Amino acid sequence: MFEAEAKVHGRRFKEAHLHEAGADDALVDIVGTAFLLEELDVTQLYCSPLNVGSGWVKTSHGRLAVPPPAVAELLKKAPVYAAWVESELVTPTGAAIVATLARRYLKLPELVYEKIGRGAGAKEFPEIPNILRVYYGDAAAFDEARSVFIVEATIDDATPQLLAHFLERALEEGALDATLSPVVMKKNRLGTKLSLLVESARLDALIEAVFRETTSIGLRYFPVGRRVLDREIRAVRVGGEKVGLKVAALGGRTVNVQPEYEDLLRAARKTGRPLKEIAHAAVCEFARKR
């Protein structure tokens, strides 16, 4: 908060003065928030996009546009909008708390919540209720990774070597899947469509990697539904060589057994046997041991 005040007033950090944000009620809000988070053992905090309001607000510096400069500075990396009310809806104190503690901004996280907390402000608006609502749940029941996105880019000015290299980099950056497909682009130019599947937590990093390491100057991304089977890694020995198996189950019943390619390749090179023969033997060995 001090950094934001110093920046908008063109002063050094030590010269910043908080004015309204240094009042008793603001200090109670900050200390109270910190106390409750510790008392409730909250380790991750998510926030919805913020309705900052609109119009004007009266401050010690005079009449300022909403959001006032300090709030605007604090919320630089937060998704904000203005709707329904001509009034200040996010205070400097609230902005400082959210900007410091929010891990990510989501409309509503995929959370199995146990409790709901509500707090009402003293100011009343005819258009909307002045209420803050908090959902509280066990972190073990929260799986943000279930929210996945498809990232796509069509590229017609990159070499095959560059694109092949980027597929490996995409997987290193956290992509769940990465593919290249031939396409015909505008003006009948041949090109390549890059398609990536990524969890929401790695979306921004992967988009940055696309722009940094390919020749793409634009892309699109959108959320998609996803279902996956329960899976585990088992191991068997074929001709003395260890081969890992990816075992997938549906409702507790094994429905697919797939040997790991790198293990098959290593065993084939070492034993001189055909790769497909080793793959078949590995699956048979797994079935025999069940």
**In the predicted model, what is the mean pLDDT of residues 234-262?**
92
Which among 116, 142, 168 is the end of a domain?
A: 142
Pick the residue with more confidence: 252 or 245? 245
113 and 28 both lie in a single domain = yes
Same domain, 137 and 254: no
The reported pLDDT for the residue numbered 200 is 83
The confidence score (pLDDT) of residue 143 equals 58
Distances in Å between the alpha carbon of 80 and those of 67, 74, 83, 106? 10, 12, 10, 12
- The model's confidence at residue 22, banded by pLDDT at 50, 70 and 90, is low
Q: What is the pLDDT of residue 220?
A: 96
CA–CA separation, 181 vs 195, rounded Å? Answer: 8
pLDDT digits (tens, 9 = 90+) for 49-95: 999 999 998 877 788 999 998 899 999 989 999 999 999 999 999 99
Which of the 8 DSSP states describes residue 22? Answer: G
In this predicted structure, the answer to whether residue 45 has a pLDDT above a threshold of 70 is: yes
How many domains is the chain built from? 3
Query: pTM (2 decimals)?
Result: 0.52
Domain that holds residue 197: 148-224
Same domain, 206 and 278: no
Q: What is the pLDDT of residue 79?
A: 92
Residues 8 and 28 in one domain: yes
Partners of 57 in the β-ladder? 64
| Residue 19 and residue 125 in one domain | yes
User: Residue holding tokens 């048979």?
Assistant: 284
Contact 196, 151 (CB under 8 A): yes
Q: Write the pLDDT tens digit of every residue in 173-229.
A: 999 999 999 999 988 999 999 999 998 888 999 999 999 999 999 999 998 877 888
> Of 111, 142, 173, which closes a domain?
142
Evaluate if residue 141 carries a pLDDT over 90. no
Assess whether pLDDT exceeds 80 at residue 282: yes
Judge if 171 and 245 occupy the same domain: no
Confidence band for 160, pLDDT divided at 50, 70 and 90: very high
Can you tell me whether residue 207 is helix, strand or coil?
A: helix
Q: For the domain that residue 201 is a member of, what is the CATH number? A: 3.30.70.1380
pLDDT tens profile 31-43: 999 999 999 999 8
Tell whether the model's pLDDT for residue 10 goes beyond 60: no
Same domain, 16 and 136: yes
d(CA 49, CA 78): 7
Distances (CA, A) of 185 to 22, 113, 180, 182: 58, 46, 14, 10
Pick the closest to residue 285 from 232, 231, 241, 229 (CA basis): 241
Q: Which of 185, 201, 224 is the last residue of a domain?
A: 224
Classified as helix, coil or strand, 128 is: coil
Quick one: average pLDDT of 262-285?
Answer: 94
- What is the SS3 assignment for 33? helix
For a pLDDT cut of 90, what percent of the chain falls above it? 68
Q: Where would I find the H helices in 1-86? A: 2-9, 24-39, 69-74
**pLDDT value, residue 12:** 57
Same domain, 134 and 18: yes
User: Residue 278 above 50 pLDDT?
Assistant: yes
Let me know whether 131 and 158 are in one domain. Answer: no
